[in-house]
């Protein structure tokens, strides 16, 4: 007997009874306990998603992609971001029936933001005053300090060896670069001016 709408047939306790059909072959006689239509299954899926949203910050990889594009104003394609999230194994997979869905906790959301913040210069500039040595060179000019890129590199190495500053690295457009916050820049400027006054 066929079921409409591709429903699910559950067999009851007396399913063990056997009878012969018209062709003489043995078959089990089943009792239908519940038939779930497609609409009921869909409703259950939405209910489970609502439950997950109470526990997790983002539910589903598409939701995570939309959040990143809106939050960090990314220009990457959605598939590219999806692949990167899966590759970095951010979030965890949970089962909803036969489907698996990726969910993201608050910590996972911070990981996502950290991963893609490097592609948003405005986000990085809210943390650092200079990104890379060339930018540091331009910042130092505002303090009346003119140095070549090579001499700045040497100066930074000496200051780091003497523990005067700590070199900070961050990712910017996929590359690992030196970055400088206001405190580090002030230490560099103070050191250079002290050296100049002793001459």
Domain ranges of the chain: 48-117, 125-198
Contacts by 106-113, CB closer than 8 A, 24 or more apart: 106/57, 108/57, 108/58, 109/57, 109/58, 109/64, 109/67, 112/64, 112/67, 112/68, 112/85, 113/68, 113/71, 113/72
Q: The whole model's pTM is what?
A: 0.46
pLDDT tens for each residue of 26-54:
544 443 333 344 443 455 777 888 888 89
Q: Residue 26 pairs with which residues in a beta bridge?
A: 20
| Mutual angle of helices 106-117 and 61-72, in 10-degree steps | 50
Asked whether the predicted pLDDT for residue 56 surpasses 90, the reply is yes
Asked whether the predicted pLDDT for residue 12 surpasses 90, the reply is no
């Amino acid at each position: 007997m066929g079921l409409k709408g591709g429903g699910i047939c559950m067999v009851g306790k007396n399913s063990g009874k056997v009878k012969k059909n018209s062709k003489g072959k043995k078959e089990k006689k089943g009792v239908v306990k519940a038939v779930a239509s497609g609409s009921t299954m869909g409703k259950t899926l939405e209910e489970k998603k609502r439950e997950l949203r109470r526990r997790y910050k983002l539910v589903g990889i598409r939701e995570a992609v939309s959040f990143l594009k809106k939050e960090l104003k990314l220009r990457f394609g959605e598939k590219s971001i999806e692949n990167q999230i899966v590759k970095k194994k951010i979030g965890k997979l949970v089962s909803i029936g036969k489907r698996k869905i990726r969910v993201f906790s608050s910590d996972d959301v911070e990981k996502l933001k950290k991963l893609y913040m490097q592609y948003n210069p405005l986000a990085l500039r809210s943390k650092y005053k200079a990104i890379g040595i060339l930018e540091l060179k331009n910042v130092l000019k505002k303090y009346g300090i003119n140095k070549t890129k090579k001499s700045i590199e040497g100066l930074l190495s000496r200051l780091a060896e003497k523990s005067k500053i700590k070199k900070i690295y961050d990712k910017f457009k996929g590359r690992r670069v030196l970055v400088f916050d206001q405190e580090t820049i002030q230490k560099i400027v103070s050191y250079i001016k002290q050296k100049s006054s002793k001459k």
